[in-house]
Structure 1
Amino acid sequence: MTSKISVLVVEDEPLLRIHTVDELTDHGFDVMEAANAQEAVKIFRSGQRFECLFTDVDMPGDMDGLELAALVKSAWPPIDIIVTSGHRDVQSADLPPQGIFVGKPYSLEVIAELINRLAQNA
């Protein structure tokens, strides 16, 4: 039996976060959630393993999703990074190596396919 792909969803909007977690869980992923970058960093530092980070860009606190993505890629290089925003047009130069940007609104079907494709290429 293959293990489930673990995904950390970082989204400050509670309803969107709950919906995203539920949908990705329904697609067969092992999903954890964080409301902001600081919470996400604590989860990563706890030793919990993830194959993918799916993070919003604009969040409250002293670190946004792009800074979180850069930190995660530098500390845990194998983790795939998917960044989303409905307010910013993120360019590839803003992302860590192999990071992917998906604008809001997005289809969770597309996100699930993207996570699977990234995991297969790992």
Structure 2
Amino acid sequence: MTTAKHTPRKAFLIVDDEPLARMELTQIVRDCGYAVREASNTVEALSILEADSDQFMGLITDINMPGTRSGIVLANHVRCIWPHIEIIVVSAARTPLNGELPERVEFLNKPVPPSRLVSAIQSSSQH
């Protein structure tokens, strides 16, 4: 009898308050072979990261979120606390101002073409 050797899969955390947008992003990331966790707001996202940040290699977050913390605030917080996590920020509503996002963050306009997201994911996995 052979035993399968399990290698830990790195995961992406998808944060978007719009269920359909979150579902679409999740499917693209899963199609790239990564595990995915989802959050519908920044408070939920931080709770997930605080519980087990080591499983995540990437974060994909929308800018506009319910509550007091935007995706930009989340991106800056994640970069400070968990610098190993690569970050992709998306938005249909606005483009971040110069200097709003931390270093090493890719911004994509929604709707995100799947090929563009795949390219950003592949780029982040090489860091």
Q: TM-score, normalised by structure 2?
A: 0.87
2:89 to 83, 91, 98: 83
CA distance in 2, matches of 1:33, 1:119: 19
Percent of pairs identical after alignment?
36
Partner of 2:22: 17
Partner of 2:108: 102
1:54 to 60, 74, 87: 60
Please say if residues 13 and 38 of structure 2, whose CA atoms lie closer than 8 Å, have aligned partners that are also in contact. yes
Residue 94 of structure 1 aligns to a residue whose secondary structure is: coil
Please say if residues 92 and 100 of structure 1, whose CA atoms lie closer than 8 Å, have aligned partners that are also in contact. no
Pick closer, same or farther for the CA change 1:115–1:5 going to 2, 3 Å. Answer: farther
Partner of 1:68: 74
After the TM superposition, which parts of structure 1 deviate over 3 Å for at least 4 consecutive aligned residues? 1-5
Please say if residues 5 and 119 of structure 1, whose CA atoms lie closer than 8 Å, have aligned partners that are also in contact. no
Q: In structure 2, give the amino acid aligned to 1:25.
A: R
Aligned residues: 121
Residue 40 of structure 1 aligns to a residue whose secondary structure is: helix
The alpha-carbon deviation at position 61 of structure 1 amounts to 1.1
Q: In structure 1, give the amino acid aligned to 2:29.
A: L
- For structure 1, list consecutive stretches of 5 or more residues without a partner in the other structure: none
Please say if residues 85 and 103 of structure 1, whose CA atoms lie closer than 8 Å, have aligned partners that are also in contact. yes
Please say if residues 42 and 70 of structure 2, whose CA atoms lie closer than 8 Å, have aligned partners that are also in contact. yes
Pick closer, same or farther for the CA change 1:78–1:114 going to 2, 3 Å. Answer: same
The alpha-carbon deviation at position 92 of structure 1 amounts to 4.5
